[in-house]
Amino acid sequence: MPTPQAPAPRGRPPTITRARIADAGIQIGLPNITFVGVAAALGVSQMALYKHVGNLEGLKQLVAEEIFSRWQVPRATIPVQDSLEDYLQLFSAATQAFVKANPGITPYVIRRLVATPSMLDKIREHQEHIAQAYGVSFERSRYLMGTVAFHCLAVADTVYAVAGREPRAAVERVVEEVEMEGILQLGMTALIQGALAMSEQDISPDFSTQLLDTSALPIARVREFPLTLELATQWLDDMETLIKAEKEFVLVYESLPDPSTPGDPEGRKKAVLWLKAHREGFGRYCRGIVMMCDDPANLPALQEMVGPLEKVYRVPGGVASSPDELRAFIQQWVTAS
């Protein structure tokens, strides 16, 4: 007796999704992406695609972010069975292979201002994982992983760009590529051994913050709004730390309290007095304040808050509904400074 087939789902399935756009872009390749090409691959019009992605750079950013999110970064084995140096060699090889498999990805991964919050979150989670697995501080893990990734991304990008561009026979290109890969691997081994020889004091930052996440400056994330006196005090301490360290930053409030939620009046008073006393220093290093909005219904109310916010802080303010909009604010303000 034949097995009855499930009825086909009703309605037309969505034609354009983030995943399908990314799949099409990956198939085409980042260096060759165009609106015409992606729209054709999806079987839709360019105008339909524009409704989902506003411009070509945004399209490339979407594809790059999806490529990075799909990358299976090597994890440490639990329990650990190899040395930290062995793992860094494995990570370097994986990074090299990642660049080779995804031409054009390096500019979207190596630069903090271009990397999206989700990409930075993935990087930080992996650094925390390695710190815990090998029993080192987060600062040391961040230094080691960041150093290896930065140099491997940059050199591998050059190696494969040059090897692919030279007008030579296929066999000659392969031979040259293998030769350059060998030099790259020897160089990364030397870099890893040198980085491991650095002391904790050599790599420690000259400042630390309590309430703010400053791992991706100039982005200074405020994950919890300082409603209480204790949090307000931590916020002010972090402001002084960044000013003393002469670090430019953009305050990014990732979550805002309900307007009806009362804050500690002592905390507000303390913050206002501090801003009056430190107006010059705060304005010199704080390039602006961005409020993130993940609910379109709240957008008008937040936009109305921008004016009063700018009067209090005396720095530019804005509302961002997406990582692209946040990045645009940061690039505008930091570049302008």
Shared domain for 62 and 138, answered yes or no, is: no
- 287: helix, coil or strand? strand
- 278: helix, coil or strand? coil
pLDDT band at 8 (very low <50, low <70, confident <90, very high): very low
Residue 176 maps to a domain? yes
Instruction: Specify the number of domains making up the chain.
Output: 3
Residue 51 maps to a domain? yes
User: What are the pLDDT digits (tens) for 181-200?
Assistant: 999 999 999 999 999 998 87
Q: How many whole angstroms from its chain centre is CA 146?
A: 13
Residue 5: both structure tokens together: 């087939």
Q: What is the mean pLDDT of residues 297-307?
A: 89
Residue 248 maps to a domain? yes
Residue 98 maps to a domain? yes
* 286 close to 280: Cβ distance less than 8 angstroms: no
User: What are the pLDDT digits (tens) for 76-98?
Assistant: 988 888 999 999 999 999 999 99
**What's the CATH number where 236 sits?**
3.40.50
Distance CA 285, CA 200 (A): 28
Domain that holds residue 295: 212-336
pLDDT band at 13 (very low <50, low <70, confident <90, very high): very low
Q: What is the mean pLDDT of residues 238-244?
A: 85
Indicate whether 48 pLDDT > 50: yes
* 105 close to 68: Cβ distance less than 8 angstroms: yes
Residue 149 maps to a domain? yes
Provide the whole-model pTM: 0.63
> Considering only CA atoms, which of 73, 149, 153 is closest in space to residue 106?
153
Shared domain for 303 and 250, answered yes or no, is: yes
Q: What is the DSSP string of 239-305?
A: HHHHHHTT--EEEEES----TTSPPPHHHHHHHHHHHHHTHHHHHHHEEEEEEE---GGGHHHHHHH
Taking CA atoms, 185 is separated from 133, 156, 192, 193, 337, in Å, by 24, 10, 10, 12, 39
**What's the CATH number where 30 sits?**
1.10.10
* Residue that has been written with the tokens 């339909």 in this structure: 48
From 180, 203, 226, give the residue that closes a domain.
Answer: 203
Task: Work out the number of other CB atoms within 10 angstroms of the CB of residue 222.
Answer: 21
Residue 107 maps to a domain? yes
Residue 79 maps to a domain? no
